[in-house]
Amino acid sequence: MAKVFRYARALMGAALLGLGGWGLALGEIGPQAAIAQTPEPEAVDYPPEAPPPGVEPLPPERRRMEQPQTGDYRISALLRAFNGNLWIGSWEGVARIDPNTGRTIARISLPNTIIGAIAQDKVGRIWVGTYEGLMRVDPRTNEITAQNFFLPSNRILSLQLDQRGYLWVGTDRGIALISPDQGLLMTTLRKLPGVSANALSLDRDGQLWVGTLEGLVQVNSASGFAMKRIAEVPGTTVQTLALGPRGSLWAGTPEGLLEIDSRNGRILRSVTQLRGRNVKSIAFDRVGSIWVGTDGGLLRVNPYNGAIVGEVSNLPSREILSISPDTGNKVWVGTREGLAWISTSQDIGRARPLAAFSREADSSMME
């Protein structure tokens, strides 16, 4: 009982001495007992709004987050995460924003800032392919938790999660399969026909399709062996791939947009109105329209008849590198000169650049 009394008295004394901001490491309390005091690190609080007049400005890290990029503005990858946030991969690094407001949530510090692709695994971790390797980022802490450099090449161009949850990595010298939990290399296909894995997509049966410098290759996602090759592709090089709502595969080449039967590898059609256009990115929205990014602008296409139903103006650049539809009730567009968004409820033919990620600053408010 005496020990308990002395223990309580010690705690009361610490409080009276103003030690509430210190951590107390207490041993057995006795006549000669001592209290070891270890200061806790100060928590950095980032207020969501600007500070009132006369108050110290936001901490340096928050100011850095809100400042626009300086240098290369091309937006090479966009990813809508499970929680609705938009991840942005550029040639200046990786950032995460709230697509409803355009507010920058975080900028991720990486060893290499040139981003080729972004993906999210089944438990929510973010995988970032750079021109110097693959990294796994914990979105809760924004820290790198794994990295793998033992790939066919460290220049990563594409990423695709398969139906089992494994991650396929496309490089400029073949493809590899990664275990997301350990970040370990499981298998590689170095002698890929067409060499460079520019784009990856799954078909409706879960098999992997690879867009290469010389057409398309279908890969068995279980064994990692090449199953089928389509070499006679108009435009030769496949730059982007997407699975359509009817199960067909869509491919963008320097000569246009193709629809392919993924069951037999037969080219069903070349979209007439896009022949001769350099197609660099494609994405389907929830109503089934195809958003097609070319080196001459962004188009909305009816997949049933191939008609162009809309063309978007006021983009930071006419060269479209990435597209994320249905994200914050907007279509987000990555161009060579920055990021922009398009309202899906009004003025759908006009884009608005986002100042923090675009060379052309736009002070207009998000709607």
User: 311 has which bridge partners?
Assistant: 299
At residue 103, φ and ψ (nearest 5 deg) are -70, 135
pTM, entire model? 0.79
| Residue 146 contacts residue 121 (beta carbons within 8 Å) | no
Q: What is the pLDDT of residue 278?
A: 98
pLDDT digits (tens, 9 = 90+) for 163-220: 999 999 999 999 999 999 887 889 999 899 999 999 999 999 999 999 999 999 999 9
pLDDT digits (tens, 9 = 90+) for 11-44: 333 333 333 333 323 233 233 333 233 333 344 4
3-state SS assignment for residue 198: coil
In whole angstroms, what is the distance from residue 43 CA to residue 267 CA?
Answer: 58
Mean of the per-residue pLDDT values of the chain: 83
Q: With 60 as the cut, is the pLDDT of residue 159 above it?
A: yes
- For the stretch 288-291, contacts whose Cβ atoms lie closer than 8 Å and that sit 24 or more positions apart, written own/partner, are 288/245, 290/242, 290/244, 290/250, 290/257, 291/323, 291/325, 291/331
| Residue 123 contacts residue 81 (beta carbons within 8 Å) | no
pLDDT digits (tens, 9 = 90+) for 86-144: 999 999 999 999 999 999 999 998 988 899 999 999 999 999 999 999 999 999 999 99
pLDDT digits (tens, 9 = 90+) for 249-297: 999 999 999 999 999 999 999 999 999 999 999 999 999 999 999 999 9
In whole angstroms, what is the distance from residue 154 CA to residue 151 CA?
Answer: 6
Residues 6+ apart with CB under 8 A from 68: 355, 356, 357, 358, 361
Domains contained in the chain, CATH given: 2-38 (no CATH), 72-358 (2.130.10.10)
Residue 309, both tokens: 């139903």
Residue 61, both tokens: 């890290």
